[in-house]
Structure 1
Amino acid sequence: MAEVKTGDTVRVHYEGSLEDGRKFDSSLDREPIELTVGSGQVISGFENAVVGMEEGDSRTVTVPPEEGYGPHDPNLLHKVDREQVPDEIDLQVGAQLQATDRQGQVIALTVADFDDSTVTLDANHPLAGQDLTFDVKVVEIVK
């Protein structure tokens, strides 16, 4: 039977969880995802996990931050005046916001902290700095 190699297009089911067991994503309630291994469509640790697997194989792999969403970068924490956040936004720690940078790119932000005068926004990916565990099953090697 053929093994998955770089350049192959595969269909996989997965379930992702954090060190504390909380699930952060899963394909189990929808169609498997399709990706071309080595194309950078998903994090490198996920791609590396499927290399060498065969159709029907399952595996559990833990992906370190360096092969996931990177380490948590404290330089991506930004403190802004509370007035810069529109009044209609219900501020809560963990709330996801969007902003536009000077080049017009949309940036995802997470509220890290706030008080009466400032809001601390985190531009790191929400999974940055975390070990990610994936249960992966190769459903099909499309080629």
Structure 2
Amino acid sequence: MDIRNPCVVSLTWRLEDAQGELIDELNEPMEFFFGGDDLLSKVEEALLGQSIGFEAALHLEPEHAFGDYHSELVFFEASEIFPDTVEEGMQFEGPPEGSQTPDMPKDAIYTVTEVYDTHVVLDGNHPLAGIALNLSLKVIDVREASEEEIEQGSVAQSIFSFAPGGDQDLPPGATLH
């Protein structure tokens, strides 16, 4: 079966920054919905029409990956609005309750990047924003998407979002898949 919209592809890959530093490696195949939110558009462009066994090495500039880094999305909040257990790598959807910075986007995910006695530093940029990436991937399998997957536009959580529990050279508590 050729890769087309919609379908599900199983991939393995190696993701590095432009200097060759490993960011993420997926040695066991993982499924992704093709034609939804699971893959970056440049990755989908490379996969379209391909089949099992296809391999590609892609260079992704920030505008084709996670966007440019925006320093205006970094801000400080008083430590008293956070729980005592706040630590680097924790994430908040939108500014935390009690925020004194009301003009920050409400739909961003903010990562705690530093914790001090009096304040906490939050960053609304994606952890890979502003970074050029090299992605080597291989198609392991291709299958029809289920009705549920088509309805969701995804097999599971997007590969390019971060969730607690990882151990890569990413912010503590974050992982790429």
Higher strand proportion, which one? 1
Matches within 5 A, 1:1-143: 3-28=2-27, 30=28, 32-89=29-86, 95-101=88-94, 107-111=109-113, 117-143=118-144
C-alpha distance in structure 2 between counterparts of 1:58 and 1:87, whole Å: 47
Identity of aligned residues (%): 25
Task: Give the AA of the match of 1:25.
Answer: D
How many residue pairs get aligned? The number is 134
For structure 1, the 5+ residue unaligned runs are none
| AA of the residue aligned to 1:70 | G
**1:34 aligned partner, one-letter code:** E
Ranges of 4+ aligned residues in structure 1 off by more than 6 Å: none
> TM-score, structure 2 length as denominator?
0.62
User: Does the aligned pair in 2 maintain the 1:4–1:54 contact within 8 Å?
Assistant: yes
Q: TM-score, normalised by structure 1?
A: 0.75
Which structure has more relative contact order (CA 8 Å, sep 6+)? It is 1
Structure 2 spans left out of the alignment, 5+ residues: 98-105, 145-177
